[in-house]
């Protein structure tokens, strides 16, 4: 896997099979903060004292590690639980080869394909290694405050953007929860509606289109 330096000077890798990078080339760490942590209201949710994040397509975990930084800055005592869904042990190994400017990422270095969970003070992190379409079934309903939904593109990984898989997201997110994804493709938004989500534009960060934010009907 070839390392790529993105426009905010942070590292990612190129996946040769799908010919996509693991993060936006306009800025890997910027994307974690501006497309996921901020729009999912991580700071506000951390202030309530508990925070549960589902990091779908965990990769090297930039999105949730950044959210932990934001949450701990808002409330150092917040009880935080992150569950990551990832099927490729090779990308989990790559955590050792990157050093994004995210404070909590130093603890993510404990994660390897044979050590898939750790606890650091009030923060628990666990990766469920396997096809997310299966592992999602192990999760409790109405559990997560935020879902970071970050598969490869709908073009290369259509199986990750189906109404069926999105219904799995619907099952595990709280009624107050927010799902964020980088894609604004019409088909994706239609599939979110088929899965009973409402959607809205997410922020525009380094791309022409906005991302998408989804919540449950209430
Ligand atoms: C765009 S990258 C995500 C990058 C990641 N969020 C990060 O911060 O490093 C997409 C990820 O989805 C994973 N993936 C692809 N298909 C999957 C599946 N069926 N189940 C779980 N993970 C999958 C890939 O291995 C890859 O790590």
In angstroms, the CA 168 to CA 85 distance is 13
In order of their start, the domains of the chain are: 27-216 (3.40.50.150)
Q: Tens of pLDDT along 30-85?
A: 999 999 999 999 999 999 999 999 999 999 999 999 999 999 999 999 999 999 99
Q: Is 36 in the pocket of ligand 1 (CB under 6 A)?
A: no
pTM: 0.97
Owner of token pair 């009880």: 79
In angstroms, the CA 24 to CA 117 distance is 26
**H or E segment at 147?**
strand 144-149
Q: Which of 18, 31, 34, 59 to mutate to test the pocket of ligand 1 (most atoms within 8 A of CB)?
A: 59
In this structure, what DSSP letter does residue 41 have?
A: T
Q: Tens of pLDDT along 141-198?
A: 999 999 999 999 999 999 999 999 999 999 999 999 999 999 999 999 999 999 999 9
Phi, psi angles (nearest 5°) of residue 84: -110, 140
Q: Is 10 in the pocket of ligand 1 (CB under 6 A)?
A: no
Q: How far is the CA of 58 from the centre of ligand 1 (A)?
A: 6
């Amino acid at each position: 896997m070839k390392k790529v330096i993105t426009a905010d000077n942070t590292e990612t890798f190129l996946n040769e099979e799908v010919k996509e990078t693991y993060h936006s080339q306009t800025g890997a760490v910027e994307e974690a903060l501006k497309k996921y942590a901020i729009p999912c209201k991580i700071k506000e949710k951390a202030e309530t004292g508990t925070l549960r994040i589902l990091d779908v397509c965990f990769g090297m975990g930039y999105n949730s590690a950044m959210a932990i930084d934001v949450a701990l800055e808002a409330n150092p005592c917040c009880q935080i639980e992150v569950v990551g869904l990832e099927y490729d042990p090779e990308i989990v190994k790559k955590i050792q080869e990157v050093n994004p400017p995210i404070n909590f990422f130093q603890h993510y270095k404990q994660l390897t394909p044979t050590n898939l969970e750790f606890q650091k003070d009030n923060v628990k992190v666990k990766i469920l290694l396997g096809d997310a379409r299966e592992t999602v079934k192990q999760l409790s309903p109405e559990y997560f405050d935020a879902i970071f939904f970050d598969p490869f593109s709908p073009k290369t990984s259509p199986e990750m953007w189906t109404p069926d898989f999105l219904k799995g997201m619907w099952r595990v997110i709280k009624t107050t929860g927010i799902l964020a994804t980088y894609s604004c493709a019409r088909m994706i938004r239609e599939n979110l509606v088929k899965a009973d989500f409402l959607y809205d534009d997410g922020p525009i960060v380094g791309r022409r289109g906005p991302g998408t934010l989804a919540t449950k009907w209430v």
